[in-house]
Amino acid sequence: MTHLVELQHPLAKHHLSILRDATTPPWLFRQQVHRLATLLAFAATEDLPVRRKLVTTPLTTTDGYELSSRIALVPILRAGLGLVDPLQSLLPDAEVWHLGMYRDEVTSRPVEYYCKLPAEDPCDVGFVLDPMLATGGSLLSAIEALIRWGCPDIRVMSVIASQPGVDRLKREYPQVRLFVCSVDAELNDRNFIVPGLGDAGDRIFNTR
């Protein structure tokens, strides 16, 4: 099982370049996030289990397939909301559970202020959604929440990640798979990804 999948598709490279551009307006930034999330979803779902079913076409019957797992989408508020719609369009029966976290600007540690995961009856596959994996603090907290819930298959989708964040995730949760469009080399002294794309939440919601 590959811990890290970094998209090498030409479309991912093209749309990510537009996303990074400081002159990209919020409406276009949101569109690019949607497009990149769709490409990530293709990679992150390619091994989901299916079961056979009989399908009646206008001419005859034939073998068909349907997803056999109960799937949960878990966006980390607020930036993770930008990844929900493209995933729901492909997985319309998926549950959506929200986790609210923000990064303390002094300590750079995650602060949880909202958790809507139920106490029991876990999903089969959980997708943690956050456009950026910087230090990894928020994502690790989200993963811990899904583990407490009992989710056996946890996957992370981020548009970009820092190499330190990737290393930390692999070290602490080697069973969790990470799907990204790019791994950037470093974090600056404020723990922002470099070259990065700025603050994804601010750019998605036009609150800069």
The residues annotated as belonging to the active site are: 103, 107, 199, 202
3-class secondary-structure state, position 88: helix
DSSP 92: T
Question: Residue with structure tokens 């070290």?
Answer: 171
Torsion of CA 184, 4, 90, 22, to 10 degrees: 0
What DSSP assignment string belongs to 1-43?
--SEEE---HHHHHHHHHHH-TT--HHHHHHHHHHHHHHHHHH
What are the residues whose beta carbons fall under 8 Å from the beta carbon of 110, sequence distance 6 or more? 101, 102, 103, 104, 137, 138, 140, 141
Length of the chain: 208
